[in-house]
Copies of this chain bind each other. A is one copy, B any other.
Amino acid sequence: METQRKVILDELNGWKRTHHCAELTLQNDGQEVCLMGWVQFRRDHGGLIFIDLRDREGLTQVVFAPEVNKDALEKAHILRSEDVIAIKGLVRPRPKDMINPKLKTGEIEVVVKDFKILNNSKTPPFLIEDRAEVSENLRLKYRYLDLRRPYMTKNIITRSKAAQSVRSYLNECGFLEIETPILTKSTPEGARDFLVPSRLNQGSFYALPQSPQLFKQLLMFSGFDKYYQIVKCFRDEDLRADRQPEFTQIDIEMSFVEEEDVIQMAEGLIAKLFKDILNIEVNLPFPRLSYAQAIEEYGLDKPDIRFDLKLKDITHIVQNSEFRLFKQASLVKALKLPQGAKLSRKEIDDLTELVKIYGAGGLAWIKIKDNEWQSPIAKFLSEEEKQGITNALDLKVGDIVFFQAGNPEIVNTALGYLRIKLAEMFNLIPKDTYAFTWVVDFPLLEWDEEEKRWVARHHPFTAPKPEHLALLEKEPEKVLARAYDLVLNGHEIGGGSIRIHTQDLQNKMFKVLGIDSQEAEEKFGFLLEALKYGTPPHGGIAFGFDRIIMLMTKAKSIRDVIAFPKTQKATCLLTEAPSKVSSRQLRELGLKVKEKK
């Protein structure tokens, strides 16, 4: 039980800070200063009281000493962690044996001449320290306390600085920051919209934007030439591990450009950001992989190129195999982990569970032992096939090989994620490396088995490569898009394209997508109309700001770089949003909530 304290609070009454808590050094020796902040820690020692005073910048040691102000020393006995105080005092060097080289202010202390207690604190539900082990739910409920921890404070400060760095680069390049609407029209663009019922137009709804895509294109139509915005976007999806219903995008669009112009601009932006924030010089230009090559070698369209471990297509070697699984498969791929034969049965079982998440039926493997292949499947393979595989993969004793066969998408995805898992298990990923790569030459379209029609891989405004225009109607699967994704350490951090800028091509695109002219008119009528009035060639890119900051700060989750994130159930544990609303509010909107059955 906490004992009740009777703390009499003081008003600021004209006191003004002179420094923050990570500022004073021996340079300030002898100065009279005023600091304000939180009591990180109090320790009574040798008739003195020592306080680590904390603000967002850091800590300063504050000393209450009888020879300077006895009353203050007396009063300071009441102080506890997280109380808020203001002190006036003199900077002086610490005794040699009390110097703390880990602290910016570690060579000085401030001896208190006068102080005020501005507020007091109950014992917080967890320690305001990085090392405190706290459940995420508790952290989110007491977010204001969680944010006091240096790890979180630093993440949010980095995020703020990164936003300024991005803006400074884009301003310098002649971009205009232009705000686009949050209350806008529901347009099916892949994900589910959040809706906002209209009161003045009952029965109608606004949608929150999944991205400002159409508005930024309209701004190009208006001649603004270069647009950007660091902007909130919204998707009402079932939340996967590291998604948020609202997220932040660095949204960029440019006129009179082709792919290379956007890519160069984007590389310059990333280079400046990493220099400004992390003092890292990234090498430009970034390497580029075609989509086909990324899938071929890494299984995923967001390849982590920090480590090698490439997938190998062995379909041609085993296409006539006795092994039914291989024989029937349209694609058979192998992934060799050098010196991986030491993996235990249990570990392999866990890996099998992993690939099942991605739709795989199981995980075939072979351990290369001294004189034999140790494997449940080895017996089905002919000597010739074994030799073929050995050559193709350059197998050595001690290696392990994993196989997937069948549906190409599952084969690639399962081995792609297995590759990353193995790299983590075997420490193959170099620390402190930022490996960027562009992925280009994406297919424009993909076949939607459910809807039995072609759908746009990016969005229906992405331009096809001019040299593939002729294929659009007859062989749509062969058409590549003028699109590009930027990948960092296996995370897609940005993506964009050159857009369609003529009405003819946009109409043709809608037709290929099976959107008839009436539907096109209803959903995108204003866009088709706008394309009639002199639209410039244009293109752009959008970066996932949360994810970039997560990678830059090495945070564990994007929730750790967002001040007030939602849980995976899209709730806010601090404010308890979403919540019930009054019947009056619903009545005004002309809405009824259906009873749950």
Footprint of B on A, CB under 8 Å?
9, 11-14, 16-17, 20, 36-38, 54-56, 82-84, 86, 118-122, 124, 142-145, 147-148, 153, 156-157, 159-160, 163-164, 167, 171, 176-186, 192-208, 214-215, 218-219, 221-225, 232, 234, 236, 238-239, 245-246, 248, 255-258, 261, 466, 501-502, 526, 530, 532-537, 562-564, 566, 569-572, 574-581, 585, 588-594, 596
Contact = CB atoms under 8 A, between A and B. Distances in A.
Nearest to A534: B121
Contact of A581 (B144, B186, B248): B186
A178 B204 contact: no
A153 to B, nearest CB: 7
Given A203-B596, A223-B54, A183 B577 contact: yes
Given A84-B535, A148-B223, A196-B578, 16 more contacts: A12-B256, A118-B256, A122-B532, A164-B177, A179-B248, A180-B564, A182-B246, A183-B246, A192-B588, A197-B591, A201-B571, A203-B580, A203-B593, A218-B564, A526-B576, A592-B593
The 3 closest A-B pairs by CB, nearest first: A121-B534, A147-B222, A185-B577
Contacts of A200: 238-239, 569-570
A196 B199 contact: no
B185 A576 contact: yes
A591 B586 CA distance: 10
A577 B182 contact: no
A202 B577 CA distance: 12
19 contacts: A17-B256, A36-B255, A36-B536, A55-B223, A56-B176, A56-B223, A56-B224, A84-B536, A119-B502, A120-B534, A144-B221, A147-B219, A157-B176, A179-B562, A181-B246, A186-B585, A197-B197, A198-B570, A198-B578
A308 to B, nearest CB: 35
Nearest to A531: B119
Contacts of A17: 256
Contacts of A122: 532-533
